[in-house]
Each structure stands twice: as structure tokens, then as C-alpha cells.
Structure 1
Amino acid sequence: MESVSRQTVPSPVNWDLAASTAARLCAAGPRFTRHQAEREANGLRRAAEASVDHVHRITRLDAAKDLHDSEVLVVDRPTWTQANAQAFSTLLEPAFEHVQSIRPAEYARATSGLGTVATAMEAGAVLAFLSSKVLGQYEPFCALPGPDGTSAGPEGGRLLLVAPNIAEVRVELNVDPEDFRLWVCLHEQTHRVQFAAAPWLREHLQSHITALVSGMFEKADTLPERLSARVRALLQGPEADRGSVERGQGSAELGTDEHPASMGLLELIQDPEDKKRLAHLNAVMSLLEGHANVVMDAIDSSVVPTVKTIRQRFDHRGATRSSLDRWVRRFMGMDAKMRQYREGQRFVKHVVRELGMDGFNVVWESAENLPGEQEIQYPDQWIQRIRETG
């Protein structure tokens, strides 16, 4: 397997081992003949291409006219895990560089010995579980390599479509193949358009994540003992379900205020500034996923003839997961994340209803226009702020 880690500093996670572990642990997907695999891949590429015009029409964002910021890749489960191990390696490197610079001796102890192996095994298990759940994902933090092996530029990213998962869910739901592929791609291409419309967004998120992770690590009382635990919490916390379009309501007992599902990371954060950063990141992620859901749901039967059937069966599927699957989702914070995304969807719908799509689109103009966590819950506050500053 190609090396996934290009970090210049030692990492508390052996990302190459995490990727290889995840590849070994991935659940077997549907069996394809070579002809079937080619048909699935070609169908997804056609759907990805066709969805761009619809995203442009619905979002009214000029960035959707001609997307050259990234590449669409149809992948299997092991490839998805490798891509995400590389993404985490890239995303966390600036934070690790900072911690190494201020606590070099402790950091050296934390990144040597068996600790990095144990953390890699756990990270691999997390990625393996998610590899069978995620249908598609836009990955903005891992720029495509250029001809000389270096980054292709700050705008480069990857849109990953996980072919076996899309095919498996489609068969399970017994829905039209072309309609389902297009429906999924509408959500994922919207993420791609968001980062193309707001080229500053990638660096904005990167800086906040770096500041949050650095703050958590540098304030650890015993860095060597707690560093790997905090990495695991990051993998299992708010970032764990990036890119999943599984929007089912889930079980009534999951993701409630009485049983918050993503407290693992929150329990590690005590500093008020870090709490503010996490709240901001949660708000932005809710915005991005809510916006993508609104675009997906704006499609009618003239574009996707069986869209009503797909929606009904997909939502029902989310409500009838197995007890084990629900438990794992609760443990990893995925049901709580779905609640966040529903809040983001309500925010976008409300703002579009009040201001129109062009009025909503000012959110992509600058970081100052991004909604805060409270504004996500109370969109009229965001509307009032934008009107006052506009």
C-alpha cells in the first residue's frame, strides 16, 4: 500500500499502520464481476457529472458552472480508509508541529514506542467501521499531489464516491440505480461547490482545527500518557462522520440531550477559547451538511423520477438499524451529528425562505458571514446580523 503519511514531524499515530489495519478489517462489500464493477463506476461518474448542473441551478452559485478545484474518484472501502488516514495525517500535522515545538521532550516520548501502534490499531478499527457507512465524501484537506509529488495547490481536494456502499444501499432499498446514484451525487457535489464558492473556507477550517487540537494537546497534564487518548477522541468525535449522507432519524433513545453521544471530545476540553472553537466548527459543519441536504431535497420527480420512494425508504432504513449498529453509532457520536445536520438544514431552509437563495449565499463570501452555533438554532439572529452589516 502506498504510504499515506507525508508528515515532517513524528506523529502519535502510525497512519500507514492505521490504513493497513482498516483495509484488513473492512467488512466485505457486495461481490462484483469486472463488468458489474465497471458499470457501477461508470454510472457514478455519469451521475456526478449530471448533478453539477442541478446543483448550479438550485444553489445559484457560479462556482458550480465549471468545477476544476478537485477530482471525482470512485473508490472501494479500503481505498476510502487509505484516503481518510491520509486526510487525518495532513489535517493534524500543523497541530503536532506546534506541540513538538513547545514541548519537544515530552512529545518525543509520546511519539515513540508502542503507543503509536496501539493508537493506529484503534484508528484503523474506527475507519474500518465507517468505511461501510459512508456513501460519499468531499475531502478538502488532502490536496491532490502534483507531478513532483507536492501539493497541487490550496484549492485541491477530492470527491470520493464509495461504489460498494452506494450499490449495497441501493439494492437494500430496491430503488432505481440511476436515480439513486444521482440523488447521492447531488449531496456530495454540493460540498464540492461549497469549497469552490468559498476558497477561503478550507484554510479557515484548518486554522481553527489546528488551534483547537494544539490547545488540547499543549494543556495536557501528562502529554505522553494522554496524547493518544486525545487523538482517539478526535477520530471518534465531531469529525468521525464527515461526508456521510445517512440522514435517518435513528432510534428515539439515541442522540438526545439526556444522552449526548459525542461527549468524548467535549470532556477533554476545559479552556473557554477551545470550547468556542469547537462550537464554531460544529456550526460550520452543520451549515455545510444542512445546505447539502437542502439541495438534495430540492430535486423533484422531473429530475429524479423515483425521488419520493428513495426518500421514504432511505429514512425508514435509518429508523430500523440493528441494535449493534445503533450502539456503535451512539458510541462514536454519529447520531448526535445527524441531529446537528438536521438543525443545519432547518437553518438553511428558514434563511432561504426569508431572504431567497441569493440572500443566503452571502454566507460564502467571508468567514465573518458564517453563522455561530446559536445562530444555527435561531436563524433570525443571523438574518438580523447580516441585514445590519450588509
Structure 2
Amino acid sequence: MTSIGDAEMVDWKLAVATATRLAKPGPEVSRDEAREVVAELRRHAKASERHVREFTRMTSAGEGADTPVLVVDRAGWVRANVAGFRAVLGPLLDKMQDRRGNLPGGAVLGAVGGKVTGVELGMLLSFLASRVLGQYETFAPASRDMPGSAAAGGRLLLVAPNIVQVERELEVDPHDFRLWVCLHEETHRTQFTAVPWLRDHIEGEIQAFLGETEVDPVTLLERIREAVQSLAGGRPPEEDGEARVGRSIVELVQTPAQREILGRLTAVMSLLEGHADYVMDGVGPRVVPSVVEIREKFQKRRATGAGRLDAALRKLLGLDAKLRQYRDGERFVRAVVDEVGMDGFNRVWTSPNTLPTKAEIAKPADWVARVHRQPEG
């Protein structure tokens, strides 16, 4: 389906193997400690369900029972995300396959391109696998070892070794920190289970973005290679300057039509991330005794990253944009709730037409004026 000749354009199994092999080992814990962390995260995830729904007044069909919570290690996170990438990128890879015969280097790509791309994708995932605390995995199909919602394949992932590592680095109460993380991630699960059209809308936007992609396989490999070389130290930031690391991979391959789509995607992702932060801060003081300390230390860690090389790679991968989404989105949600209350804010979930634009994320009053002057429904 996604091959050049007899070779896949992306060797997905090799990507998983590479990421699993290169991912840094997690923190040292005994077997009993590991079992307790897993059990506690599951308890907190269940408790967070009730806390989030009471605070947001959003109700999921079937109380979310159809969307599993999976406590995973770094390898499990890698497998889930490779499955997601494979599902989302399939149409783009098919398009690239159709064009391969007219491209320079097509024969070489047919022989080795899939393995090269698999290794380089695996290297990127190995970097991310040690940093993600949790994730609502939206697009990957359910499998025997990675169950998902029967309706849409969704599942909530909690990456246990990363949560333990961060709570130790921050020197915060581990029980409070685990619940605090679960509150954020459960908000994402609630968003998708309570708003049935949201998954299809985002997937449609992503496919529209990919459908406008004119990049050839050689160029795409170059973009991935830039990120990997930054990670490996092959091109230090000070040698390549802003021209090399000043833009993310996504920005480097955009067409004018893609910029419009990306603006809409940025707005909705800002909404989702900001809403999760807002809920976490709203619920936290009631159920997490040390929430003020946790929030302060975590925000500082989120803003500073782990050093110059880490910062350069985050920029190249577009992760800095995600940090802005947390900040701008939370500011939007807070301003709207202050103006029209939680029920008024929840009109954002009515349809794609009531989602904020990128400009409205920056000017919440414009969203209030547009949506609340329209008749309900």
C-alpha cells in the first residue's frame, strides 16, 4: 500500500525497533514500586473522570467506559504512536508513491528509503518517548496489545516511567503529581468522548493539510534528517543558525493552502490544550494539596527545556508551538469563562463553526461576540 517497488516507504517495524532500542532507560524502581505506580495511576485516572466532568459539565456517552486507560512504558508509547502515524500518513504516502517514478533518486528510495526513514523516524520517537507524560491517542486503530474505543479507536496513555522521572526531578509529592497529570489527560479524553464530531473534524483537517502537500520523498527525508542531525549533534545550532533551526518541519513544507489549514488546526489545538490546563488548575486546588508548588515547578521546567540542543530540536519539531498553545489556549478559556460562565464557554463544542479561529484565540471577546450573538443551536 505504501511502498516503492517491493520496499515500504516507511519501515514501521524498524521505526519501532529503533526507537525502543535508543530510548533512554527509565528511572530505577523496584518491581513492587512499579506495580504500585501503575495501580495508583489507574485509580487517579478513574477519580479524574468524575472530577473533570463535574467541573466542565461535559458528559461522555457511557461514562467513558468504552475508552480505555492504558498505563504504558516508553516502548508501549512508541508502538501506539507509530500505529497512529501509520493510519494518518497513509494517504500522503500513497500520494508520494504515485509520484515516485518522476522524481530524482526514486530508484534509490525504492531500495533503501523505507529503512532509512524507519530508522530516522525511530530516532525522533526515541527522543520524544522519554518526555511525554500522557496522551489521548486519537487515531490509531485498536489492536490486541493496544485496545481502543470500539467506536473510534481512542485510548488514554499514561507513560509511567516518565511520570516517575519528572516527579523525582521536580522533587514534588509523587501522589499529588500523578493525580495532577491524570486531571490534564482525562480532560482530553472527556473532550473527545463528549464531543462526538471532534475526532472526525480534526482528522479531516489533517488529511486536508496532507492532501495539499507537494513535497517529494527526497525532500521529506531531508526534513527528517535535519531533525535527527540536530538531535545527534551533527549540526550544532550555533553552526547552522536560524536558517536551519528557525522553522519547524511542518512550516518548512507548507503551501499557502496549508497555512490556512494549519491556522485552523493551531486554533483547535490551542483550545484543547488550554482547556486541559484550565481544568487542571480549576480542579487541582480542591483535590491536589500541593498543586501550587507542582504548577510552579512544572511551568518552569516546561518553559526552559533541558538545554540548547533540546531547545533546538523542540523548535525544529514544532514543539515550541505546542508550548504556546498551552499558554494562549488557557488564556482564551479563562477569559471566556470569566465573561459568559462555563455553560457559555461550552458552546464552543456545538459544531466546527463554533470553534475559535486563530485570531479569536488571541482575542476571546471576538469569539464571545460572534458565538453568543447567534441563536442557540
User: TM-score category by the smaller chain?
Assistant: 0.7 to 0.9
Residue number in structure 2 paired with 1:191:
188
Asked whether 1:292 is paired with 2:276, we answer: yes
Candidates 297, 303, 312, aligned match of 1:327? 312
Question: Hey, what does 2:131 align to over in structure 1?
Answer: 133
Cα distance in 2 for partners of 1:329, 1:227 equals 18
1:325 positional shift = 2.8
Q: TM-score under structure 2 normalisation? A: 0.86
- Work out which of the residue numbers 31, 34, 59 in structure 2 matches 1:34: 31
Point out where structure 1 has 5 or more consecutive residues left out of the alignment: 1-7, 237-256
Structure-2 change in CA distance of 1:291 and 1:333 (3 Å): same
Distance 1:187 1:22 in 2: 26
Structure 1 residue aligned with 2:294: 310
After superposition, the Cα gap between the structure-2 partners of 1:234 and 1:258, relative to the gap in structure 1 and judged at 3 Å, is closer
* Structure 1: distance between partners of 2:45 and 2:148: 24
Does 2:368 match 1:383?
A: yes
Please state how far the C-alpha of 1:317 moved relative to its aligned partner. Answer: 2.9
Give the superposition deviation at 1:367.
1.1
Larger relative helix fraction: 2
Residue aligned with 1:113, SS: helix
Q: Secondary structure of 2:69's match?
A: strand
Which letter maps to 2:334? K
Name the structure 2 match of 1:225. Answer: 218
- Tell me how far apart the structure 1 counterparts of residues 70 and 344 of structure 2 sit (CA, whole Å): 33
In structure 1, the partner of 2:258 is: 274
- Indicate if the aligned counterparts of 1:74 and 1:163 stay in contact, CA closer than 8 A: yes
Query: In the superposition, relative to structure 1, how do residues 83 and 42 fare at CA in structure 2: closer, same or farther (>3 Å)?
Result: same
Alignment of 1:70-85 (within 5 A): 70-85=67-82
SS at match of 1:79: helix
Match of 1:5? none
| Residue number among 227, 249, 253 corresponding to 1:264 in the alignment | 249
Per the normalisation by structure 1, the TM-score is 0.83
The aligned counterpart of 1:367 is 352
Measure how far apart 1:315 and its partner are: 2.3
Q: Note if 1:57 corresponds to 2:57.
A: no
Deviation at 1:235, TM superposition (A): 11
Query: 1:24-46 deviations in whole A, cap 9, x for unaligned?
Result: 01011112221111011001101
Give 3-state SS (helix, strand or coil) of 2:142's partner: coil
Counterpart of 1:133 in 2: which secondary structure?
A: coil
Which residue identity does 2:136 align to in structure 1?
Y
- Report sequence identity in percent: 44
In the TM superposition, residue 259 of structure 1 has moved relative to its aligned partner by 11
Runs of 5+ unmatched residues, structure 2 = 230-241
1:152 CA displacement = 5.9
Flag the 1:81–1:300 CA change in 2: closer, same or farther, 3 A.
Answer: closer
Q: Which range moved further: 207-216 or 320-329?
A: 320-329
Distance 1:294 1:110, change over 3 A: farther
Counterpart-to-counterpart distance in 1, 2:119 and 2:273: 29
Task: Verify the 8 A CA contact 1:116 1:228 in the aligned structure 2.
Answer: no
